[in-house]
Amino acid sequence: MKTINLKSLKYSASLSEETLAFTATVYVDGKRVGDCVSRGHGGPIDFHIGHELELELIKQFQDDDTTDDSFESHVFGLVCDELEARDMKRWTKKAVLFRLEGDEEGVFRTVKFKVETQRVKAHKFIVDKYGDKIIETHGGV
């Protein structure tokens, strides 16, 4: 199965209406093969990677029994994963994020700090206060 990666992702929240508006460079097995564009109007992602390669990748995902993803939904998932990672990096610059047992998936509690040296204290405070109830943390030590 060919490995698909995206680089040079540019996202525009202001142009996103029904779907995400973005452009990205498409790499297959580490080799640059073209670009993809979503204008954020709810239409399909436009791929500029060559007709034969695009058909091959579409067929690869249709023939793969381990996933229900199409080629397009796989690329969209890669975009979402990258945007989520960017958000997490931004959020954890000034806070430690954490979830406790019973907290909704994707919803985090925060302990903020003003300077980087307070990160360790913030993480220790969370561990001391909540202990075994912690499911996950981000931005800690």
DSSP per position, 42-95: SSPPEEES-HHHHHHHHHHHHH-TT----HHHHHHHHHHHHHHHHHHHHHTTSE
> pLDDT value at position 54?
86
Nearest to residue 26, comparing CAs of 55, 4, 58? 4
The pLDDT, as a whole number, for residue 38 is 96
- How many other C-beta atoms can be found within 10 angstroms of the C-beta atom of residue 98? 23
Residue 67 has pLDDT above 80, yes or no: no
Task: Using alpha carbons, select from 61, 36, 57 the residue that is nearest to residue 46.
Answer: 36
Nearest to 134 by CA among 93, 96, 88: 96
Boundaries of every domain in the chain = 4-89, 92-138
Q: pLDDT tens across 71-108, in order?
A: 899 999 999 999 999 999 999 999 999 999 999 998 99
pTM here? 0.82
